[in-house]
Structures are given as structure tokens and as C-alpha cells.
Structure 1
Amino acid sequence: MTKVAVVYYSGYGHTKLVAENVAEGAQAELIEIDQEGNIPEAAWDTLQAADAIIFGAPTYMGSAPWQFKKFADASSKPWFTRAWQDKVFGGFTNSASLNGDKQVTMIAMQTLAAQHGGIWVSLGQLPANTLASTRDDVNNLGGSAGPLVQSPSDAGADKIPAGDLETVRLYGARVASIAARLK
């Protein structure tokens, strides 16, 4: 069986809901980065055993928050031994704005995966970009590197558009499927 881990940071609960939906699609184990930027020690073993790792973080002020960056920096230990070499990687992000400079966060996640010698999985979904498109459509924000999610700043996670949540579920399944084929 293919093992997938979703490692994420959530500041206000929006990214947690997104991570849960990604994990549902990928049949993955969730690893939450805490408010101090740490993961449980046993989670490093989970990441080591995973065939695929999916990163998740909100986009704050044009990049991932410091807690995700602290995790990324701590991953230098497996980087040094090439422990994650040839693993399948993916990532997702969300912000309150439709754009919100999410692409910068996605590029940072892709770069982290590349530094580990990983294989990045693109979103693989056409954008919903016609006049008839709505926020309930899959990939309505037009991502390609990975899922982009919009979380209204004045509402809870339950107001994340259905199309965004379906996009991330499908992406989780895509990452797991590609990892299974490469295993």
C-alpha cells in the first residue's frame, strides 16, 4: 500500500480543513506543524516511511508563515542524508484573497521538494475560466503547480468554497496515484 503524509501548518483552522480534505483524497496521514513550528518526533519517522509527502501552509504576507519555514529548515537533517530522495511531493496553499501571492508559497514548496531530490506533482486540472464558471467549480482559481484555495478573511473554514475543497481532494488522490505508480 502507498503511504502518503500531509504535513501542514494552520494558523486559524482554514488550512487544517484543507489538509483534511487533501488527506481524504490521498488516504494520507496528517502531520500538523504546531504553533511553535515543530512536529512530533515520531512524525519524522512517518515522513521517512512515506512514499509521498504533501506540504500545506497558508500564504501570509506573500509567503508561508515562519512555522512552516521552521519545519522546512528542520528538514535539513533528512536532506543531508538524502533520506527523501526520489519521493513524490506535492503542496497546497490558501489565503484570504483570490490571488494573494499564493504562487510564491507554491514555488517555495516546489523548491523544498527539489532540494530533497523529490518529484513534484502538478495539479493536473484544467482551470474553470469560462463566463459560466463559479466558485463551486474545480480549479476555479486556475492553479497549475498545486491547489490554490481562498479562505474568506471574515468567515470560518466552513465558508471555503466547495470547488476549492473538491480541487484539493482530487489533488490528494492524484499525488497518491502517481506515488503508487512510481513505487
Structure 2
Amino acid sequence: MSKILVLYHSNSGNTANMAAEVAVGAQQVIGADVRLRSIDQATSADLDWCEGIALGSPTNYGTVSWQMKKWWDEQPIDNWGQRDGRIGCAFSSAASWGGGQELTCMTLNAILMNYGYLVFGVTDLTGPQHTLHYGAIQAGEPRQEKEIAGCRRLGRRLAEWVAVYFHGQRDQHPLEQQYDRFGHLK
């Protein structure tokens, strides 16, 4: 069973709503066991448990929230290097488009990389002019079908990669899936 952690911080509830959709996407992969945790609930034991992590933060002044950064800064030093080779991805919401969501995802990815996680991008389009190369991004909460689909695709892709790399389920590789990856290019 693939163990997926969706870990997030949310100020207004928008990033929490994204996290819930990311979790729904991860649950689309058979055999995925998904934990949805805010940083107020999570402990380093959740990091020990998971094989894959989707990490989400609101965009505050073009970067991660101080609460998210603090959570990682306060992880016990014994955790350093204990997660090498696990899989990670990012998501972020801001008040408006162009608020720095992609920069926040890149910062979240850098945090994960410093802990040894392997991070990935998603080349899929989930609607016209809507992709998630650096992670799922959002202005406000996900409302439109393509925005919800973007969050879900991120979670699903995480669970697929964990199934492939941790459990040898080659049939779960994203290129083996039948869902529409590029049909919205029209």
C-alpha cells in the first residue's frame, strides 16, 4: 500500500481546500493510503510514515508562510537524511494570479530536496491554459473544474510515482494511464 501524506498550512482555508482535493486525487490510485494533515496536527512521525508527500502553503509575500518554514526548521536534526529517495511535490494558493504561487512551489520543492525527497513536475494540462509544472497553483480556492482537476492530478501523480518506485507497479506509471493528459490544448 502506497503511503501518501498531504501536509499543508492554510491561513484562510484556500490552501486547506486545495489539500483536500490533492488527497482526493491521491486516493484515485488503487492501494493508496492517504493522510491529510495540517502542520498544526502533523508530527515527524507522519514524515517517517509516508513514502510520498504533497506539501502545500499559502503564498505570503511571494514565498512560503513563516509557519510552514518554522515547522520544517523545528524538525529534529535526527530526521536529516532519513527521507532520502522519498517522493515529493508542492501546491500553493495566493489571493490573486501572479502573487508568487510558482515561486512558493519552488521554495517548497527546495525544502523537500534539502530533506532528500525527489521532486517532480507535471506536464499535463487539466484545462485550457491550466497546468501544474512546478506544482498545483491557485488564486483563492479551487472553484473551476480545471482548478479542482489540477489539484487532483497532482495528488494522483504523486500516488502513481510512489506505486511505481516504491512498489514496482509499472502499470501505474503516468504514461500507462488512460486519463486525458493533453486534450485541453484545443
Match of 1:90 in 2: 89
Match of 1:143 in 2: 132
Judged with a 3 Å threshold, the aligned counterparts in structure 2 of structure 1 residues 182 and 138 are, in CA distance, closer, same or farther, namely: farther
Matches within 5 A, 1:1-183: 1-27=1-27, 28-34=34-40, 39-40=41-42, 43-75=43-75, 77-80=77-80, 82-126=81-125, 137=127, 140=130, 142-151=131-140, 157=141, 160-183=143-166
TM-score normalised by structure 2 residue count: 0.79
Cα RMSD for the two superposed structures: 1.8
Matched-pair identity in %: 25
For 1:169, the aligned partner's letter is: R
- The 4+ residue runs of structure 1 with deviation greater than 3 A are none
**Which structure 1 residue ranges, 5 or more long, are not aligned?**
129-136, 152-156
For 1:60, the aligned partner's letter is: N
User: Matched residues in 2 for 1:94 and 1:11: separation?
Assistant: 10
User: Matched residues in 2 for 1:8 and 1:164: separation?
Assistant: 18
- Per the alignment, in what secondary structure is the counterpart of residue 124 of structure 1? strand
**Which structure 2 residue ranges, 5 or more long, are not aligned?**
28-33, 167-186
Structure with the larger strand share: 2
User: Matched residues in 1 for 2:86 and 2:123: separation?
Assistant: 18
Q: CA deviation at 1:138?
A: 6.3
Judged with a 3 Å threshold, the aligned counterparts in structure 2 of structure 1 residues 52 and 139 are, in CA distance, closer, same or farther, namely: farther
TM-score normalised by structure 1 residue count: 0.80
User: Matched residues in 2 for 1:92 and 1:84: separation?
Assistant: 20
